[in-house]
């Protein structure tokens, strides 16, 4: 039987580096939107606990590399890197694995790169490791997650991958040019 | 002339540059103004209205005269202040508003007619004929007046925008700013120190005062070095804070690459910052005022503080034989600094009767400056004593000190009004004009160095306390602590010639008096009548003096007269910086489908649908025009099978016990009765009863639906659903999320659609177990896919959806299979023809002004239930014969070309708007029916099938008689889709 070739959202676009900052695409993972039904928030939290995670409060995440539950909006979180076991009937579950272009921005200048495109205070005090936000990346809607002191995970609509890479790369090269002055 | 042993420029680093076509050399650290002054250049530009030769007057961003154009070609920048532009190798600048040259300017003739060119001249003179203003007078006046010009070319140089956050923003790095930044930083606050100049230190660089036992510049350098070493401090030189906005947000413009000899292509020219600060200290210093007297605009007339700055900071003598005119003690500093540097001071003219004793200086009191001489450069100053005896002072530079205006602009950006302080004859900020912002130092009307340091420290302590941080008492360095002694002296009385207030816009005291005389006596009216304060310097040099003259002319005091409104930006900001990132394709993100590459490889031109790029048509060899390709693709779908990427349609996953009930509320028709595995077409209204969107919704399982929206309204519908849920029925238990991007979805349409699909499905389907308007999960090449039997072409049609990662591969496979069956890919043009032939609507028809009745779908508004917009849709006038209703049109004869946008008239009626019967929304050439077809809205149209109307397109000159028809031109029974 022939099979269909898989392509990730940033296929052919990444990785790129400039000025000590690298933008890369993490390996694809299962992403499920988890939206607990009315009155089922505690049950959803319990089911997520069983997965070693939990229900994240607004603007936060639980877990980390490999397995993560990320706040993404009102009554909604993304379960990344795990099957949504024990959640059926408790929460609306929707596969989002293919809906997003995921990018990882890493390096000493990562925060400065994002400061060109993101209107949020990303200082260690206001946006510590583990924080999540829905915001804008230039003109694009974005989910932002601080995965490390110098690394951020960025999610934009899959169709906008090329624009997002272009804008981030432009900010990276502009900063590299500033540093060279 | 350069003075040995003075200044902070690097004499070991000469820098060559060009001005007005001539080569010059300056030093590292020079501005264009200081380097040219050192080279003996006096004339920097020509004035706005009278084309008078003008020289540099100040040493800062407020400069009204020395505006130059930098660069050539697309990237040339007009109105650059020579006082801010650093010189660098390759710098090329030129003077403005002159032809053929700075030295000889033909338009100088304007100066001879100055009696006629007073305020309001244009308004009074160029009134008739009325039409001539726009076509003749204004363009001619604009050519004669004005400053630099843009290149009028597209400039692709990089500009940048950025965001920053801090506890404390300090604006200005003079003694107050440095002290505030240092104390706040030592107290642990996150500090941003923004300085307009390329070197931090402010006035400390321009004076000879000592601070803490070292030179002012030395103390500044040491303090800046300490700040630079602290991790909680961000130093931002070359950054002008240009506005104060809500919630502690400040706009700032940073010059990033404008001083660089060979900038990398990626280096931004400028960066527009938005800085959000919990607290701010405004330590922006003060601007020295001119005094108005006859011919006070000659090159060589400068502010006394600028003469001192050029001497002390850049080691440049603004003149060899300098005269001082002052109304306060500051003029004496200039005189003493000049003498100390070995220059000659021809006289110090003190306007005060109580001039201080200064035996070392040639002080003259009781005299008035009544004129100046020298066309291209100041040659002499004419003075008259109390008895009217006239004498002449030969001089090449007149340094004027009329007192200092605090640079309080930012404090007024949120509608605050400053207070007048008689003792310093200046407006000062009142506390709390901008929440969280404290003015300190000269910006607050505090002028001694020691007091500036103290105010800066106090402002930092106050900020630290409000941030919840303690502050150790600052150790204040010793410094000069003189008092201000000033006489308010705005204008020398009894002058015979024009006395300038606003140099940049050529406004004189006479213009202000004329405004008052013609009853433009309010300061805001005077400003607009005379244009005083409306030039690039925004009145920094002239506002206070102008309103003092106005106060005098109207017999009011200065506080009663008041100031005009200070608005952002504080300094001119290039639009390129504010719009950074928005050039060309940066204007909006591009959305690409998974099949984009495959479609592009087939040569398909792309059409933008919202942000999406969709293939327009797929040209094949031998096809001369898009129509050839489109006609073939339409017939291919009608006769064989076509493939089209429809992933761009909005897809919303809706789940929950109340999901069906919710759909009943948002759709006009009923969905709660839809069985799993079935699809239904639905119509959605806005709250005002007009049509919002249409599409199909599939029931995927119990309490689980998948809604499809149009491409254009995908975001709008998602927002609408969220609003309805959150505002109207928040207690209903349902959840929704967009899955538009998760799936790649392809239409497979045509009589051979099922045959093609069955070649890829692991389990084939037939017409009966997968009937029209059904849906289900299928397996295709080892993966799970979603299959819908729906049709936007009227043919046997399916849409198959796979996770987006497989989209490109499946598209290529499906197109190849279609081609093997005599079909292929089809684009937006063919898709449009297919739907017009079927009378299917798009947003061309549901354009926001049409009701369900208008499009003939009033039967879909269920009588059994309520829905959003239903009540409003039943309002009088939204249904009935007076409405324009959807009809089909066919030209007679059928070969006549028609176009969308045309209007409809009754035969025999004159085609004017009073007789308008409707309009055409969509048009195509139908290769199936071999005629042009149109969808249109026609008054009482459904009752007029079979009649004729006249279609007139005034824009394209079309005038065609058409037959009114059922809008479903092709297969009105719909048998083909159900096959």
Residue of A nearest to B779 (CA): A3
Q: Is the pLDDT of residue B358 over 90?
A: no
CATH of domain B635-648+742-840: 3.30.1360.120
B187 near B460, Cβ under 8 Å?
yes
For A33, the closest chain B residue by CA position comes to B737
- Name the residue facing A160 among B589, B733, B802 (closest C-beta): B589
CA atoms within 13 A on the CB side of B486: 23
Are both A104 and A163 inside the same structural domain?
yes
Given a cut of 80, whether residue B135 has pLDDT beyond it is no
Residue A162 contacts B, CB cutoff 8 Å? yes
- The CA-based angle B569-B570-B574, given to 5 degrees, is 50
- Residue pair A101/A164 in contact (Cβ under 8 Å)? The answer is yes
Report d(CA B426, CA B288) in Å as an integer: 11
How many Å lie between the alpha carbon of B198 and the closest alpha carbon of chain A? 14
**What fold does the segment set B160-286+406-466 form as a domain?**
FAD/NAD(P)-binding domain (3.50.50)
The band of B108, judged by pLDDT with boundaries at 50, 70 and 90, is: confident
Cross-chain residue pair A4–B276, CB shorter than 8 Å: no
Q: Tell me the C-alpha distance between B794 and B805, whole Å.
A: 29
| A88 in any annotated domain | yes
Question: Is A23 among the domain residues?
Answer: yes
Residues A129 and A45 in one domain: no
Radius of gyration of chain A (CA): 17
Res. B360: pLDDT tops 80: yes
Domain annotation covers residue A178: yes
Domain B880-979 has what CATH class? mainly beta
* Residue pair B45/B68 in contact by the 8 Å Cβ criterion: yes
- Residues A111 and A138 placed together within one structural domain of the fold: yes
Chain B contact present for A147, CB below 8 A: no
Chain B hits for A176, CB-CB cut-off 8 Å, are: 266
Q: Which of A98, A117, A159 sits opposite B593 (nearest CB)?
A: A159
Sign of CA dihedral B519, B522, B528, B533: positive
**Do B802 and A4 make contact, defined as CB atoms within 8 angstroms?**
yes
> Which tens digit of pLDDT belongs to each residue from B932-950?
999 999 999 999 999 999 9
Q: What is the pLDDT of residue B583?
A: 87
Residue B130, pLDDT > 70, answer no
Measured at the CA of B394, the angle between CA B332 and CA B66, to 5 degrees, comes to 70
Q: Which residues 631-690 in chain B show a CB within 8 A of chain A? A: 653, 655-657
Q: Searching chain B, which residue's CA lies closest to the CA of residue A177?
A: B267
pLDDT per residue as tens digits for the range B783-834: 999 999 999 999 999 999 999 999 999 999 999 999 999 999 999 999 999 9
CB contact under 8 A, B809 and A5: yes
Q: Determine the residue of chain A that is closest to B589 in CA distance.
A: A163
Q: Classify residue A7: in a domain, yes or no.
A: no
Kindly state whether residues A109 and A20 are assigned to the same domain.
Answer: yes
Mean pLDDT of chain A: 97
Question: A136 and chain B: CB distance < 8 Å anywhere?
Answer: no
| Contact state of A37 with B804 under an 8 Å Cβ cutoff | no
A118: contact with B, CB 8 A cutoff: yes
Give tens-digit pLDDT for B169-186: 999 999 999 999 999 999
The verdict on A40 and A80 lying in the same domain is yes
Give strand pairing partners of A145: A132, A153
Contact map slice: B 339-358 vs A, CB within 8 A? none
User: Is residue B136 predicted with pLDDT exceeding 90?
Assistant: no
The torsion region of residue B342 among left (phi > 0), alpha (psi -120 to 50) and beta comes to: left
- The 10 Å CB-count burial string (b at 16+, else e) for B666-698 is bbbbbbeebeeebbbbbbbbbeebbbbbbbbbb
| Boundary of a domain, candidates A96, A111, A133 | A96
In chain B, residues with a C-beta closer than 8 Å to the C-beta of A123 are 165, 190
- pLDDT given for residue B96 in this prediction: 86
Cβ contact A160–B591 (<8 Å): yes
- How many Cβ pairs within 8 Å bridge chains A and B? 145
Q: What is the pLDDT of residue B359?
A: 82
A120 and B CB contact within 8 Å: yes
Quote the domain boundaries for residue A85: 29-96
CATH 3.30.70.380 fits B1-156, yes or no: no
CB atoms within 10 A of CB A129: 15
pLDDT (mean) for B308-335: 97
Q: Which of A77, A96, A115 is the last residue of a domain?
A: A96
Task: Say whether A76 and B735 touch across the interface (CB within 8 A).
Answer: yes
- In this predicted model, what pLDDT tens digit does every residue of B613-623 receive, in sequence order? 999 999 999 99
Is the model's pLDDT at B141 over the cut of 90? no
Which residue's entry shows tokens 């006394």? B304
> Residues A91, A119: one domain?
no
Q: Where are the beta strands (DSSP E) in B686-772?
A: 691-701, 704-708, 735-738, 743-749
Using the beta-carbon criterion (under 8 Å), do B591 and A98 form an inter-chain contact? no
Which of B8, B2, B13, B21 lies closest to B68 in space, CA to CA?
Answer: B21
Tokens 């028709």 found at: B669
> Which of B131-135, B228-232, B676-680 shows the lowest mean pLDDT across its residues?
B131-135
Could you tell me if residue A50 is inside a domain? yes
> Which pLDDT value is given to residue B123?
64
pLDDT at B146: 64
* Secondary-structure class of domain B496-571 per CATH: mainly alpha
Please judge whether A159 and B592 are an interchain contact, meaning their C-beta atoms are less than 8 angstroms apart. Answer: yes
pLDDT at B960: 96
What is the band of B101 on the pLDDT scale with cuts at 50, 70, 90?
Answer: confident
pLDDT on residue A22: 98
- Residues of chain A contacting residue B734, judged by C-beta atoms under 8 Å apart: 92
* CATH code (residue A59): 3.30.70
The answer, for B737 touching chain A at a CB cutoff of 8 Å, is yes
- Is residue B100 over pLDDT 90? no
Q: Between β-strands B642-645 and B743-749, what pairing exists: parallel, antiparallel or unpaired?
A: antiparallel
Burial of B379 (0-12, 13-18, 19+ CB in 10 A): middle
Question: How much of chain B exceeds pLDDT 90, in percent?
Answer: 88
- pLDDT value for A2: 73
**Chain A CB within 8 Å of residue B190 CB:** yes
Give, rounded to a whole angstrom, the gap between the first and last alpha carbons of chain A.
58
| pLDDT tens digits, B413-432 | 999 999 999 999 999 999 99
- Give the pLDDT band of residue B144 (cuts 50, 70, 90): low
A43 touches chain B (CB under 8 A): no
Q: Are A91 and A124 in a shared domain?
A: no
pLDDT attached to residue B746: 98
| B391 has pLDDT over 80 | yes
- Sign of the CA dihedral B897, B900, B902, B908? positive
Query: B24-59 pLDDT, tens per residue?
Result: 999 999 999 999 999 999 999 888 888 899 999 999
Of B165, B266, B274, the CB nearest to A174: B266
B161: closest CA among B583, B578, B573? Answer: B578
What is the domain partition of chain B in residue ranges? 1-156, 160-286+406-466, 290-402, 496-571, 635-648+742-840, 651-738, 880-979
Number of CB atoms found within 10 A of residue B344's CB: 14
Residue B620, sorted as left (phi over 0), alpha (psi -120 to 50) or beta, turns out to be beta
Asked if residue B679 lies in contact with residue B774, where contact means CB atoms within 8 angstroms, the answer is yes
Over residues B203-224, the mean pLDDT reads: 97
Q: Which of residues 393-432 of B touch A (CB under 8 A)?
A: none
| Tens of pLDDT, residues A19-55 | 999 999 999 999 999 999 999 999 999 999 999 999 9
**pLDDT at residue B605 in the model:** 98
pLDDT, mean over chain B: 94
Reference B2, options B321, B320, B357; nearest CA is B320
Structure tokens at B852: 């369900």
List the one residue out of B201, B225, B450, B411 whose CA is nearest residue B309. B201
With cut-offs at 50, 70 and 90, classify the pLDDT of residue B471.
Answer: confident
Same fold, B160-286+406-466 and B290-402: yes
Domain boundary among the residues A74, A96, A118 is at: A96
Coil vs helix vs strand at B134: helix
Q: Is the pLDDT of residue B109 over 80?
A: no
Cβ-proximal residues to B572 (8 Å cutoff; 6+ apart), any chain: B79, B536
Per the rule left: phi > 0, alpha: psi between -120 and 50, beta: everything else, B844 is alpha
B617 within 8 A of B924, measured Cβ to Cβ: no
The sign of the dihedral angle between the CA atoms of B717, B723, B725, B729 is negative
CA separation for the pair B433, B899 (Å, rounded): 59
Residue A5, domain member (yes or no): no
Subunit contact A164:B783, Cβ cutoff 8 A: no
* Whether residue B377 has pLDDT greater than 70: yes
Judging contacts by C-beta atoms under 8 Å, the chain A residues touching residue B590 are 160, 162-163
Interface of B with A in 594-633 (CB under 8 A): 594, 611-612
B290-402 has CATH 3.40.1010.20 classification: no
Mutate to test the interface with B, among A37, A76, A87, A98 (most CBs of B within 10 A): A98
* Chain A residues closer than 8 Å to B810 by CB: 4
A27 touches chain B (CB under 8 A): no
Closest CA to B20 of B43, B2, B3, B37: B43
Burial class (CB in 10 A: 0-12, 13-18, 19+), B205: buried
Q: Is B781 on the interface with A (CB under 8 A)?
A: yes
3-state secondary structure B611-680: CEEEECCCCCCCCCCHHHHHHHHHHHHHHCCEEEECCCCCEEEEECCCHHHHHHHHECCCCCCCCCCEEE
Task: Give the residue on B whose Cα is nearest the Cα of A72.
Answer: B737
A82 and A127 belong to one structural domain: no
CATH code for the domain of A131: 3.30.1360.120
Write down the pLDDT at residue B584.
Answer: 86
Tell me, yes or no, whether A55 and A75 share the same domain. Answer: yes
Q: In terms of domains, do A120 and A87 share one? A: no
Q: Is A16 on the interface with B (CB under 8 A)?
A: no
Residues A78-118 pLDDT 10s = 999 999 999 999 999 999 999 999 999 999 999 999 999 99
- A34: phi then psi, degrees, rounded to nearest 5: -115, 115
Report yes or no: B810 at the A interface, CB cutoff 8 Å.
Answer: yes
Number of domains in chain A: 2
Q: Check CB contact of B703 with chain A, cutoff 8 Å.
A: no
Work out the average pLDDT over B898-912: 95
Q: What is the average per-residue pLDDT within B523-532?
A: 94
Q: Is A69 on the interface with B (CB under 8 A)?
A: no
**Are A106 and A152 contained in the same domain?**
yes
CATH number of B651-738: 3.30.70.1400
Cβ within 8 Å of A, B 533-592 = 581, 585-586, 588-592
Domain match, A78 and A148 both: no
Closest CA of chain B from A154, distance in Å: 16
- Closest chain A residue by Cα to residue B162: A116
Q: What is the pLDDT of residue B124?
A: 66
Cβ within 8 Å, pair B743-A98 = yes
Confidence band of B98 (pLDDT split at 50, 70, 90): confident
């Amino acid at each position: 039987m022939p099979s269909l070739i898989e392509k990730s959202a940033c296929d052919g676009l990444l990785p790129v580096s400039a000025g000590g900052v690298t933008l890369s695409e993490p390996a694809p993972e299962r992403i499920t939107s988890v939206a607990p039904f009315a009155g089922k928030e505690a049950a959803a939290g319990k089911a997520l606990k069983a997965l070693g995670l939990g229900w994240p409060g607004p603007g936060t995440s639980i877990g980390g590399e490999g397995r993560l539950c990320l706040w993404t909006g009102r009554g909604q979180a993304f379960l990344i890197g795990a099957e949504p076991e024990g959640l059926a009937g408790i929460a609306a579950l929707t596969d989002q694995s293919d809906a997003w272009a995921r990018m990882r921005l890493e390096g000493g200048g990562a925060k400065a790169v994002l400061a060109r495109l993101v209107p949020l205070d990303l200082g260690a005090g206001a946006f510590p490791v583990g924080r999540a936000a829905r915001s804008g990346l230039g003109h694009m809607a974005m989910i932002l997650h601080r995965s490390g002191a110098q690394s951020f995970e960025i999610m934009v609509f899959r169709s906008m991958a090329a624009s997002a890479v272009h804008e981030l790369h432009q900010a990276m090269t502009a900063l590299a040019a500033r540093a060279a002055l | 002339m350069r003075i040995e042993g003075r200044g902070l420029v690097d004499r070991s680093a000469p820098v060559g540059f060009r001005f007005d076509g001539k080569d010059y050399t300056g030093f590292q650290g020079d501005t264009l103004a200081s380097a040219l002054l050192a080279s003996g250049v006096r004339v920097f530009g020509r004035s706005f209205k009278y084309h008078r030769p003008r020289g540099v007057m100040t040493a800062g961003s407020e400069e009204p005269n020395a505006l130059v154009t930098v660069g050539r070609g697309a990237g040339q920048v007009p109105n650059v202040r020579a006082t801010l532009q650093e010189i660098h190798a390759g710098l090329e600048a030129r003077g403005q508003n002159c032809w053929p040259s700075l030295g000889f300017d033909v338009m100088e003739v304007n100066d001879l007619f100055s009696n006629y060119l007073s305020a309001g001249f244009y308004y009074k003179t160029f009134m008739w004929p009325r039409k001539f203003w726009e076509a003749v007078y204004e363009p001619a006046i604009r050519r004669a007046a004005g400053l630099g010009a843009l290149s009028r070319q597209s400039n692709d140089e990089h500009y940048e925008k950025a965001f920053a956050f801090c506890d404390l923003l300090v604006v200005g790095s003079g003694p107050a700013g440095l002290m505030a930044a240092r104390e706040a930083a030592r107290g642990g606050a996150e500090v941003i120190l923004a300085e307009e100049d390329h070197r931090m230190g402010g006035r400390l660089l321009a004076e000879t005062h000592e601070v803490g036992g070292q030179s002012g510049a030395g103390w500044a350098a040491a303090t800046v070095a300490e700040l630079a070493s602290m991790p909680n401090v961000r130093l931002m030189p070359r950054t002008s804070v240009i506005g104060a906005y809500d919630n502690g947000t400040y706009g700032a413009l940073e010059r990033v690459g404008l001083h660089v000899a060979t900038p990398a292509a990626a280096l931004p020219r400028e960066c527009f910052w938005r800085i959000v600060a919990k607290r701010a200290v405004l330590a922006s210093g003060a601007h020295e005022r001119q005094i108005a007297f006859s011919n006070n605009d000659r090159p060589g007339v400068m502010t006394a503080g600028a003469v001192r700055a050029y001497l002390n900071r850049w080691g440049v003598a603004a003149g060899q034989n300098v005269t001082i005119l002052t109304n306060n003690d500051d003029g004496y500093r200039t005189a003493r600094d000049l003498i100390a540097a070995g220059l000659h001071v021809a006289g110090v003219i003190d306007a005060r009767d109580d001039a201080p004793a200064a035996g070392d200086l040639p002080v003259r009191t009781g005299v008035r400056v009544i004129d100046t001489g020298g066309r291209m450069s100041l040659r002499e100053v004419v003075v008259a004593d109390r008895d009217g005896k006239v004498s002449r002072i030969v001089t090449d530079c007149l340094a004027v000190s009329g007192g200092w205006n605090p640079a309080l602009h930012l404090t007024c950006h949120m509608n605050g009004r400053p207070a007048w302080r008689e003792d310093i004859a200046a407006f000062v900020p009142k506390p709390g004009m901008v929440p969280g912002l404290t003015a300190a130092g000269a910006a607050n009307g505090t002028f001694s160095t020691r007091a500036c340091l103290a105010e800066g420290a106090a402002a930092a302590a106050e900020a630290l306390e409000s941030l919840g941080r303690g502050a150790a008492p600052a150790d204040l360095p010793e410094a000069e602590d003189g008092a201000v002694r000033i006489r308010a002296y705005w204008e020398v009385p009894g002058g015979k010639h024009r006395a300038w207030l606003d140099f940049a816009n050529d406004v004189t005291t006479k213009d202000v008096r004329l405004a008052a005389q013609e009853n433009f006596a309010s300061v805001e009216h005077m400003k607009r009548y005379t244009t005083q304060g409306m030039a690039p310097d925004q009145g920094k040099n002239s506002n206070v003096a102008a309103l003092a003259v106005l106060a005098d002319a109207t017999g009011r005091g200065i506080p009663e007269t008041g100031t005009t409104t200070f608005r952002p930006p504080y300094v001119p900001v290039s639009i390129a910086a504010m719009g950074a990132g928005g050039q060309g394709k940066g204007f909006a993100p591009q959305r690409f489908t998974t099949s984009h590459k495959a479609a592009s490889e087939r040569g398909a031109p792309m059409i933008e649908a919202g942000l999406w790029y969709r293939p327009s048509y797929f040209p094949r060899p031998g096809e001369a025009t898009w129509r050839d390709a489109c006609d073939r693709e339409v017939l291919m779908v009608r006769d064989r099978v076509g493939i089209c990427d429809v992933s761009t349609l909005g897809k919303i996953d809706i789940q929950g016990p109340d999901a069906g009930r919710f759909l009943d509320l948002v759709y006009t028709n009923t969905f709660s009765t839809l069985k799993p595995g079935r699809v239904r077409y639905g119509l959605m209204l806005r709250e005002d009863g007009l049509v919002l969107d249409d599409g199909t919704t599939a029931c995927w399982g119990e309490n689980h639906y998948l809604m499809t929206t149009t491409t254009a309204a995908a975001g709008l519908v998602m927002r609408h659903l969220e609003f309805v849920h959150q505002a109207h029925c928040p207690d209903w238990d349902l959840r929704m999320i967009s899955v538009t991007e998760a799936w790649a979805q392809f239409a497979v349409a045509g009589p051979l659609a099922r045959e093609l699909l069955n070649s890829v499905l692991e389990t084939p389907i037939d017409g009966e177990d997968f009937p029209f308007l059904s849906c289900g999960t299928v397996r295709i090449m080892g993966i799970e896919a979603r299959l819908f039997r729906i049709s936007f072409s009227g043919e046997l049609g399916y849409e198959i959806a796979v996770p987006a990662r497989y989209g490109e591969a499946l598209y290529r496979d499906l197109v190849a299979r279609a081609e093997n069956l005599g079909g292929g890919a089809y684009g937006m043009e063919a898709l449009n023809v297919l739907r017009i032939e079927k009378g299917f609507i798009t947003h061309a028809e549901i354009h926001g002004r049409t009701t369900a009745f208008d499009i003939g779908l009033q039967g879909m508004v269920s009588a059994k239930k309520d829905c959003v917009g239903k009540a409003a849709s039943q309002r009088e006038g939204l249904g009935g014969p007076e409405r324009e209703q959807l009809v089909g049109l066919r030209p007679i004869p059928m070969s006549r070309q028609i176009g969308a946008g045309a209007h409809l008239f009754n035969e025999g009626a004159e085609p004017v708007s009073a007789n308008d019967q409707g309009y055409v929304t969509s048009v195509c050439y139908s290769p199936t029916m071999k005629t042009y077809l149109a969808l249109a809205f026609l008054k009482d149209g459904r009752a007029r099938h079979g009649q004729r109307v006249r279609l007139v397109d005034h824009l394209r000159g079309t005038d065609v008689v058409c037959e009114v028809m059922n809008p479903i031109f092709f297969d009105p029974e719909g048998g083909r889709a159900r096959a």
